């Protein structure tokens, strides 16, 4: 007499496990990539001082920026350097108004000034659907390429997180460039564990012991 084992999952169970496994791996990879980006930002960030003038004509308000529990915006403006080129500067946070139609008020220094800040490869990227496009001057994310296409300005391939204290009414209480690396790594581990669990459950629930036969 000898007993055997069979593995005959139903099609829907196989499809469900494959989808869960693929989603877990994809989301785990995304979180790992975010951790790597923040780690790289922390090691490559450089303090700089630039001279030029802000161009308030092309102001962008980055939406859904929360500071101490209060919703608001990050204010991004181009800063014209010597010559024709500009660099994007995140000037700081401003609180949201009483309604979505009321954008925050702030002051833009006139004339040529010196601005110090952190030189970054890119601004932090908030989650947004791939098909989402900027509406007016309220955006979810901004890149030099996207801003250049919208404004027609020639931009440097880097961005600045402003640290200079200016009398403009904006808040510049920035987190470290590499803040959140451990959180992203923890989320990645959770998603990879979900992928492994989906495979384990498929095996456990569909491997059956056959009756002994002679």
Q: Domain spans of the chain?
A: 5-36+184-209, 46-174
Whole-model pTM over 0.75: no
Torsion sign across C-alpha atoms 117, 164, 183, 17: negative
Per-residue model confidence (pLDDT) at position 164: 86
Residue 88 pairs with which residues in a beta bridge?
A: 78, 159
If 0-12 CB within 10 Å is exposed, 13-18 middle and 19+ buried, where does residue 35 land? buried
Backbone angles phi, psi at 182, to 5 degrees: -65, -35
What residues have CB less than 8 Å from 193, skipping those under 6 apart?
A: 24
Mean pLDDT value across residues 4-30: 89
Measured CA to CA, the distance from residue 53 to residue 197 in angstroms comes to 55
Residue position matching structure tokens 């490869």? 121
How many CA atoms lie less than 13 Å away from 203 in the CB half-sphere? 6
H or E element at residue 77: strand 70-80
pLDDT above 80 for 37: no
How confident is residue 51, by pLDDT bands cut at 50, 70 and 90?
A: very high
If 0-12 CB within 10 Å is exposed, 13-18 middle and 19+ buried, where does residue 206 land? middle
Measured CA to CA, the distance from residue 83 to residue 213 in angstroms comes to 88
pLDDT above 90 for 82: no
Per-residue model confidence (pLDDT) at position 135: 67
pLDDT above 90 for 102: no
How many CA atoms lie less than 13 Å away from 21 in the CB half-sphere? 13
Per-residue model confidence (pLDDT) at position 38: 74
Is the distance from CB of 51 to CB of 81 less than 8 angstroms? yes
pLDDT above 80 for 129: no
Measured CA to CA, the distance from residue 160 to residue 172 in angstroms comes to 12
How confident is residue 34, by pLDDT bands cut at 50, 70 and 90?
A: confident
Is the distance from CB of 127 to CB of 62 less than 8 angstroms? no
Mean pLDDT of the chain: 87
Mean pLDDT value across residues 72-78: 97
Pairing of strands 5-7, 70-80: unpaired
Measured CA to CA, the distance from residue 89 to residue 117 in angstroms comes to 9
């Amino acid at each position: 007499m000898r007993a055997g084992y069979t593995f005959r999952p139903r099609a829907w169970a196989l499809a469900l496990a494959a989808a869960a496994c693929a989603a877990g791996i994809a989301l785990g990879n995304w979180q790992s990539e975010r951790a790597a980006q923040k780690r790289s930002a922390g090691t490559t960030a450089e303090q700089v001082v630039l001279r030029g003038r802000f161009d308030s004509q092309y102001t962008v308000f980055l939406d859904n920026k929360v500071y101490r529990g209060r919703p608001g915006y990050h204010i991004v403006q181009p800063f014209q350097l010597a010559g024709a080129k500009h660099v994007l500067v995140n000037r700081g946070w401003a609180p949201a108004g009483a309604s979505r139609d009321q954008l925050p008020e702030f002051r833009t220094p006139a004339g040529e000034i010196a601005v110090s800040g952190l030189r970054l490869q890119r601004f932090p990227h908030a989650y947004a659907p791939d098909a989402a496009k900027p509406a007016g001057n309220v955006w979810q994310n901004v890149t030099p390429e996207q801003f250049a296409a919208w404004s027609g300005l020639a931009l440097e391939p880097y961005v600045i997180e402003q640290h200079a204290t200016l009398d403009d009414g904006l808040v510049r209480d920035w987190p470290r460039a590499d803040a959140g690396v451990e959180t992203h790594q923890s989320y990645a581990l959770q998603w990879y564990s979900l992928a492994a669990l989906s495979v384990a459950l498929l095996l456990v629930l569909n491997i059956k012991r056959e009756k002994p036969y002679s």
